[in-house]
Amino acid sequence: MLATTWRTPFVILVCGTLIMMIGFGVRMTFGLWLAPASTSLGWGLETLSLAMAVQSLTWGIATPVAGIIADRYGTGRVVVGAGVSYVAGLLLMAGATTPIEAMLGIGVLTGIAMGGCSSSIVLTVISRAVTDMRKRAIYTGIATAGGFSGQIVFLPAAQSVLTASDWTVTLMVLGAVAALIIPLAAALVGPQAARAPIDRPQTIKAAVREAFRHRGYVLLSTGYFVCGFQTLFVATHFPPMLGGLGISSSTAAWALSLLGLTNVVGCFAWSALGGRWRGKHLLCWIYILRSVAMTVFILLPVTDLSVLVFSAAIGLVWLGSVPLTAGVVAQIFGTRYMATLFGFSFLSHQFGSFVGIWAGGWLFDETGSYMGIWWASIALGLVAAAFNLPIDDRPVARVAAAPTPV
């Protein structure tokens, strides 16, 4: 009994937040060493862009698989495997001499790792540990804000290491940090963190079938495609774009850190609003405001000031979509198979990431400009808002009839 009593909801929250912070923070540094690595290895920007796009696709495919394993056997072992895969992928990339090694390292292995320690996995554990809906919104907001604050810490730190040494040493240091995920997974082991009680008997296959027959779930997941397209394109290509426009690498790193700082505020604020207002309406506003911020940025001259202002503004609507999307999934279907269902939504997100990352590198190599992708991101944001508006977010009959909250 004493072995599991320390795993309180608060401990689960803290350790889950740190896992997300490391996983996401390390990933956000990839844009810093993308250009130096491409130059050092003698490859075009498209080669590593494709590897990172493969990572996003692998991340998306791995997430529902990790969710199925977590829903059946518990989350702890999934996160441990993610930590091991993360370290292996970063070290393989640090010693890569061929595109195949890069593809396997940062494309496949780190993609698998991200699927096993992503928000869909961690937020599910936290949601199960807290049954009160309003408190659950606060807890998931804290975890999302704290987890995504990793870029505030890791981006300046990685830039300092990169400046003092080179990209290979930077990846080795990041690998050592990623190894911390393994011991933190201990908090996600045990009956309180592993599986939710079943509101009514249902198999994973039946849960997935129920979700994909639900029009609102399909619309929600399709809108999430746009979230991936927008955020991972910016996260990957914003630093090299700014470098090409004469903005210093240090300003680019601080811009991404500022984005991360305001993202913390935005995630918590949107989550708090999600406890009072309908999540689908808040998602509409997030996608619309992203498009507005992007439009203003690309129409104005790019200066240090405009870069910092844009980073602060886009950060407020950056990843507040994550806890809101998770909340809508839990609201409609309950939390029993939330890791699996949120994982499939996240797969759509990562298809969007794949397209945004790869197309950004390909178009730049073809045209020497990122403008086409920026305008595509703006248009898709408006489409995503239109998709979220008609979502039927009422609990399905199975959940509505359950005698206790899930």
Residue spans of the domains in the chain: they are 9-400
Give the C-alpha separation, 28 to 254, whole Å. Answer: 13
For residue 179, the SS3 value is coil
Cβ–Cβ < 8 Å for 333, 207: yes
Residue type, 321: S
Place of tokens 């079943």: 198
Name the CA radius of gyration of the chain, rounded: 20
Residue type, 313: A
The closest of 347, 358, 323 to 137, measured between CA atoms, is 323
User: Hey, what are 377's tokens?
Assistant: 């991101």
pTM: predicted TM-score of the whole model, two decimal places: 0.75
Cβ–Cβ < 8 Å for 42, 168: no
From first to last of its 406 residues, what are the pLDDT tens digits of the chain? Answer: 445 577 788 888 899 999 999 998 898 888 788 888 988 888 877 788 788 878 878 888 898 899 888 888 888 889 999 999 999 999 999 999 899 999 999 999 999 999 898 877 888 888 778 777 677 777 887 887 788 778 778 878 898 999 898 999 999 999 999 999 999 998 887 654 444 444 456 788 898 999 999 999 999 999 999 999 998 888 778 878 888 888 887 788 788 778 878 988 898 888 888 878 899 999 999 999 999 999 999 999 999 999 999 999 999 998 889 889 988 998 899 878 888 898 899 889 888 988 888 888 788 888 878 888 899 999 999 999 999 999 998 888 877 666 544 4
Give the C-alpha separation, 336 to 204, whole Å. Answer: 9
What architecture is the 9-400 domain classified under in CATH?
Up-down Bundle (1.20)
The closest of 110, 365, 319, 125 to 224, measured between CA atoms, is 319
